Chain A
């Protein structure tokens, strides 16, 4: 009896310790990734990386200025496409919708959220690249914007619904129409949450590679317009990492460090905005 109890306590402590090890190992992976990227990327990053164009194959040196600008262009365009649909769609779900339509939209958004990014790429290829006859920043932005919609939409809905009734009724009681209430009271009360959601959506698509492979494609030169093939950081990392050249590997590490740093900073920023508190207390 006593021995059995001791055994049970030993098992309990041992297994609980093991769960701690699991958690520790999982978190350790993050620091391992960060450490390795900083170690490898830090050694190879330099001013040229940000300011120079890629050199022809075989020559060392050069940078990825075109990819940095390209990524910026595509992300900007993707936000212009994805954020309004997500935000206004979310407003509709939270404030205006009846039952039938809302559940269809919600279902569609969840479905879209689960679609593998490579499949989104196929769709963008068929819808944008084929009609325009060539790869372009538009096509890449269309694919990435599509991926931003469900995140923005569902979080906007969530945060708007969390705004307390009192605020809503206060505005209505003062005689404001519904859309005025939404525009001047409800959305401002929930804006921290919504901004967070948009930032997180942006951070998520900033690292996407697969949907850009056959939409924005890539370009070794600076592309001047939105309708040309455009280089992006994630695709550059991919092509450089699988190439046989030592110098390209070095630059892939540098690009990886820049990309990951950017994404983690956006993530941390977004989460601090949120943890500063939603402007209103939750019911």
Chain B
């Protein structure tokens, strides 16, 4: 189509057509364009099908605590709160562990050991979330109820975040399961970023008399800082959108509670649980609006993460080359 304009170009166009080049180009282009169409349709679908609650509730949707399908009143606060709290708990656990492990894999372990461990980490990332949910329900929930809750509640029970009673399910349990799920992502990306830090940075620090840890912590990690931040954003995006494992252990109660041991709800979990039962347009569209919120949150975080990771790895190769 492109070369069909001028007469000189049209001959090359037809000769190319005979050899099939233009056809191949067009066919593959159509398939590539399908991807763009699908994404555009996804955004369009989410936007148009959440018009009702956007008009009716406006911004109040996000600050209202009431979620009452019978009275047809919908507020997203408990879900937004639950999503944020569980994700923060997950990051508090996963970030130190993940970055520590990444430092070990990138700086300390011999290449063979590092590659083997990375292989296991990749397998861990492949475990489906419903399996984590299964283990969460039958292992972490009972342990939470009988061991961890008493251990934290007895000495610190006066703090609102450790108040009882505990049913085993709740924000904290969901946070732990999420932490286990996002650690592989943090390790893989952080390791990659740390490995891209140029050698001379380390050697310069060691030559100036710093210990191995000082060269790692004060030179290599700051050099890779933005990329590590990127891995954290990536993990956060995963945690926010995670559905099954959270649904199975969070308790599915639409309440804003200060205690980490209280049962709660998350955006993804309420969609999973109530979407098929949603009767009435406003109910269904409120759930779709929650989906839209989730989409926008992960969209922003993934975008930020990608920029940070690219900036860091390019900085590394730029200095080295």
Question: Does B4 touch A at the CB level, under 8 Å?
Answer: no
In whole angstroms, how far apart are the Cα atoms of A180 and B19 in the complex? 9
Residues of B within 8 A of A249 (CB): 138
* Cα A207 to Cα B124 with chains together (Å): 13
What residues of chain A lie closer than 8 Å to B299, measured between beta carbons? Answer: 111, 114-115
- Which A-chain residue is minimally distant from B278 (CB atoms)? A214
Interface of A, secondary structure class, is helix
Q: Among the listed A92, A119, A146, A177, which residue makes an inter-chain contact with B20, where contact means beta carbons less than 8 Å apart?
A: A177
Please measure, in the bound complex, the distance between the C-alpha atom of A117 and the C-alpha atom of B237, giving whole angstroms: 12
Q: Which residues of B line the A interface, CB within 8 A?
A: 16, 19-21, 23-25, 27-29, 31-36, 38-42, 45-46, 49, 96-101, 103-105, 107-109, 117, 119-124, 126-135, 137-139, 180, 183-184, 187, 211-214, 216-217, 237, 240-244, 247-248, 268, 271-272, 275-276, 287-288, 291, 294-295, 298-299, 302, 306
Chain A residues with Cβ under 8 A from B103's Cβ? 19, 22
Chain A residues, CB < 8 A from B97: 22, 25-26
A96 with B25: CB separation less than 8 A: yes
List of B residues within 8 angstroms of A271 by Cβ: 119, 122
What residues of chain B lie closer than 8 Å to A241, measured between beta carbons? 130, 133-134, 137-138, 248
* Number of A positions contacting B (CB below 8 A): 89
A19 and B137 within 8 A (CB): no
Q: Taking the complex as formed, is A55 at the interface, i.e. its CB lies under 8 A from any CB of chain B?
A: no
**Which of A150-166 touch B at CB < 8 Å?**
150, 153
Inter-chain contact A209/B129, CB cutoff 8 Å: yes
Q: Is A115 a contact partner of B130 (Cβ separation < 8 A)?
A: no
Q: Is A171 an interface residue (CB 8 A)?
A: no
In the complex with contacts A92-B29, A92-B32, A116-B295, A204-B241 CB distance below 8 A: no
Whether B214 and A12, one on each chain, are in contact in the complex, defined by CB atoms closer than 8 angstroms, is: yes
Chain A residue contacts of B275, Cβ below 8 A:
121-122, 125, 213-214
| Contacts A18-B100, A114-B237 supplied; 12 other A-B pairs, CB < 8 Å | A29-B183, A88-B28, A92-B29, A108-B38, A110-B302, A112-B35, A115-B298, A116-B294, A120-B42, A123-B46, A206-B128, A210-B272
The verdict on A33 contacting B105 (CB below 8 Å), with A27-B117, A122-B46 known, is no
Chain A residue numbers with a CB within 8 Å of B49 are 126
Known contacts: A26-B187, A109-B35. The answer to whether A207 contacts B20 by CB under 8 A is no
Within 8 A of B (CB), among A1-39: 8-9, 11-13, 15-16, 18-23, 25-27, 29-30, 33, 36-37
Secondary structure at chain B's binding surface: helix, strand, loop or mixed?
Answer: helix
Contacts of B128 on A, CB cut-off 8 Å?
A: 206-209, 234, 259-260, 263
Q: How far is the CA of A213 from the CA of B129 in the complex (A)?
A: 14
Q: Is the CB of B28 within 8 A of A116?
A: no
Specify which chain A residues have a CB less than 8 angstroms from the CB of B33 in the assembled complex: 101, 105
| Smallest CB separation, B99 vs chain A (Å) | 8
9 A-B contact pairs sorted by A residue (CB < 8 Å): A8-B211, A20-B109, A22-B96, A23-B105, A108-B35, A108-B36, A210-B243, A213-B276, A264-B123
Asked whether A179 lies within 8 Å of B21 as measured between CB atoms, the reply is yes
